[in-house]
Structure 1
């Protein structure tokens, strides 16, 4: 093992929404900061989400195998690169609603309250929206929480077909609203991410060092187990040891938990920070179904997501429990998760014979149906030797199924008065499979009680004084909106704490 001769004030592991953002926050302090990233800078052509090749399975999958709860291997849809999964996300940056921070009764169980509330996150939501150049408009969503600042940029123009159907949905008595999007305002690659807004600005500071292709394999503690003293990483086949005062994990909910479990030692025989046996447990990743409308007229196939509907977020008159979020997918040539649903396109081909894959995508409008899944200690990450297993059984299914069927009924109703759509025929749909790791969260929940949580309010582990986790691991509950903006806002919040600690 090669021991690096530099000593760092802060070592950040991972460059996604949490790691890239906290690097940006800490870089101006002048403290010596090391950023370790398992991947490398992502070539521009690999970021191109408007190419028909996205429909080929495995394009955005990590080059490794995980295992499901019955021991079957799968290749996870993860992105190891500077910017992490923000390089392939849809740049939808929604706030959790105030009630999402409280205890909520669902049809299938209880979503627990957070130890911090919306008011604690609100200033950081505003900072995050400014940093990631969010384009949006506060225009009538009945669930929208209080904003102390408006979005820094106005909403983008919609695809004409989306405008037409949005107007029809409004006429049906619902409230289609503008999705907030993090955009760079650059034509060739418009979506913002943590490389653009976090890592690149950080590297302008001479006190910041980035090492790519650095896979962290173990965290080493002092003899008492109270501090992490070294970070072991494999770089080009060679093992290196990096020493630092503060260690910040931001590997994603699955990989951060896995690293803590892999780093078990004598003081922490069940894994670092795992005296509560909560590390790796309560994995959540949202219930998601794609629903497609078949169109008579072509569209570009490459437009961004622009509208959402929250009229059923907290339920309706027939179902007094939360159901979730509905949003258009964007152009189907530009949505990578449709690569996971080839059976959907086979079904569509039956209704549109003679059309190839590209033609099918440009004759379709997609919708995401997204419902909160509830924390379950049996949904977990585990390590056996070198094998990483993800045990996950979806829950809260009735709420999700009701929302899917409710939305299809809405679409059928509005299509009767629209000439552009194949009204009255089947709406193909597909559920997102296990290997899609979008919205992963919950494996190192924060809280005030060390017996039931891994992290304290500052996202520092209860058991190790210098170890923090700032990806989606800290969530005690999921929500029906994407976790991305909350992860970014939390990284800014924890960054303020670390700045005070660093002095």
Structure 2
């Protein structure tokens, strides 16, 4: 029996493995995917954009998706048939290997959404059982241990910090950021250097960024990106078992006793531990608990409240873009525009909170960035002429050359709250099973109309920046389509065991030794990407478990007639 068994090795699991293993406890991490090192990562665009290099093939593992319609019905999609994919990174370190690393903290009011902004009809908005002040030391720890590069700029929504500035200086930026800063100043906006979980210099035993700009969806060959693998798991002695798909947790009425897993060849194994930590990603964590029902928990493990899988959330918002007109720029501006590699890295939080008609609203964050370096995706957008006709030969070649060599697109991404509702949740399908014979997860989707209204407000403000910069072909889209890489909820934490799955320390109300450390715990998501908060909360849970484990050691070893460790 080991001290702690962690299911999943991403941003939720890796801090606990790092902290507990380095504190001398025996730690086993069960990871469904494979282990990669920096030497295994490259810029294989075919593998990343056209293949499932880091995710399970949909003909072996998939989800069923039910999309809510305005008439009150759901339209059902089979993940394999529709190619609708909610996997976002099955490998050691999880999807933190593939993130772009945009790291913003939640704000104090994100922890008390209901108290500050009030009820919203049709939404299950609640306050968190912890405050920003309780999580702040762990945000600070992530900055230093995982490595976050940035520069603090004072603005009206800046959250309180225990460190005056980031420990690692901001990453190098493209010259166009000067134009952006000037345009924002004229508009009365405050541009913020976007914090990134990417080292700007050699530190922490890792190399600094070498500015390939292939970040999102790609593993980092330099080790600069702060993935759970590079920053934490490679720096501890936790035992990592790969190709281990955990399909069931066994329990008594008080404790989880064993985790069962299949290898990729279908061979069954199990692990016994004193404490179990579930960090398999929000959808999969709910699925595992629902599939682990037994005589003590007939509706799913840790589900006496009936809340497992409920209140699933994503990140609401959308995106927009505008194209710089090369011919209208000076030679110096043309040179700055076409400088490759270095980042754009600018954000706006001027409307993280805003008022309309004397009512206060929770707004969000807008990140500005150049379009991805992927040649394939950039080219595929240019194969039609202005009338929508497919281009061939010399005409296609001429357009591609102009677009790629004398043109650049500035994009923005809007992040605002996806409100939790009764209509967005995880369940399991007893008739559809994966290659292991395990019922697949069902993702029931619904976006609250309020989310769209806030996203629209933020997008229109952002478009003004593109207009001020002189961009053309400006466009944006705000929709209720969920981003699969930004998912949370399903095991919300709270003080009332009848209305939540976890207590304030992310331990299951129903079980003495089960914690959930991925984004499942979040009752609301805030208006930023989730990863920094997942990391911070996981470090917080690690401190709780450290205090709990010596007690477990004492009870286990004295009962077994062994000396206390």
> Under TM normalisation by the shorter chain, which class is it?
0.7 to 0.9
CA drift at 1:166:
2.6
Aligned match of 2:440: 387
Listed as ranges, the matches of 1:252-263 within 5 Å are 252-263=281-292
Question: Per the alignment, do residues 162 and 78 of structure 1 end up closer, same or farther by CA in structure 2, a change over 3 Å counting?
Answer: same
Measured in 1, the distance between the counterparts of 2:512 and 2:384 equals 54
Q: Is the 8 A contact 2:28 2:240 kept in 1?
A: yes
CA drift at 1:67:
1.3
Aligned match of 1:480: 527
Aligned match of 2:548: 501
CA drift at 1:373:
0.8
From the CA coordinates, give the structure whose radius of gyration is larger.
2
Tell me whether 1:86 sits opposite 2:96 in the alignment.
yes
Of 250, 256, 261, the match for 1:233 = 261
Question: Per the alignment, do residues 84 and 156 of structure 1 end up closer, same or farther by CA in structure 2, a change over 3 Å counting?
Answer: same
Segment drifting more, 425-434 vs 313-322: 425-434
Question: Per the alignment, do residues 347 and 153 of structure 1 end up closer, same or farther by CA in structure 2, a change over 3 Å counting?
Answer: farther
Question: Per the alignment, do residues 381 and 313 of structure 1 end up closer, same or farther by CA in structure 2, a change over 3 Å counting?
Answer: same
Aligned match of 2:195: 180
Listed as ranges, the matches of 1:419-458 within 5 Å are 421-422=471-472, 425-427=473-475, 429=477, 433-434=481-482, 436-458=483-505
Aligned match of 2:229: 195
Q: TM-score under structure 1 normalisation?
A: 0.88
Q: TM-score under structure 2 normalisation?
A: 0.79
Tell me whether 1:415 sits opposite 2:466 in the alignment.
no
Aligned match of 1:328: 368
Q: In structure 2, the residue corresponding to 1:26 is in which secondary structure?
A: helix
Q: Is the 8 A contact 1:231 1:242 kept in 2?
A: yes
Q: In structure 1, the residue corresponding to 2:274 is in which secondary structure?
A: strand
Tell me whether 1:140 sits opposite 2:154 in the alignment.
yes
CA drift at 1:170:
2.1
Measured in 2, the distance between the counterparts of 1:491 and 1:59 equals 27
Aligned match of 1:315: 354
Question: Per the alignment, do residues 118 and 345 of structure 1 end up closer, same or farther by CA in structure 2, a change over 3 Å counting?
Answer: farther
CA drift at 1:299:
3.0
**Cα offsets for 1:26-82 (capped at 9, x unmatched):** 112212111110001236587556948755475665423211113212222411001
Q: Is the 8 A contact 1:294 1:427 kept in 2?
A: no
**Cα offsets for 1:124-152 (capped at 9, x unmatched):** 11111111111111112321111101311
| RMSD between superposed Cα atoms in Å | 2.9
Of 277, 287, 294, the match for 2:306 = 277
Measured in 2, the distance between the counterparts of 1:363 and 1:444 equals 42
Segment drifting more, 353-362 vs 153-162: 353-362
CA drift at 1:320:
3.8
Listed as ranges, the matches of 1:280-291 within 5 Å are 280-291=309-320
Tell me whether 1:212 sits opposite 2:268 in the alignment.
no
Question: Per the alignment, do residues 193 and 411 of structure 1 end up closer, same or farther by CA in structure 2, a change over 3 Å counting?
Answer: same
Q: Is the 8 A contact 1:445 1:475 kept in 2?
A: yes
- Count of residues paired in the alignment: 480
Of 100, 117, 123, the match for 1:105 = 117
CA drift at 1:478:
1.1
Question: Per the alignment, do residues 234 and 356 of structure 1 end up closer, same or farther by CA in structure 2, a change over 3 Å counting?
Answer: farther
Q: Is the 8 A contact 2:174 2:344 kept in 1?
A: no
Tell me whether 1:464 sits opposite 2:511 in the alignment.
yes
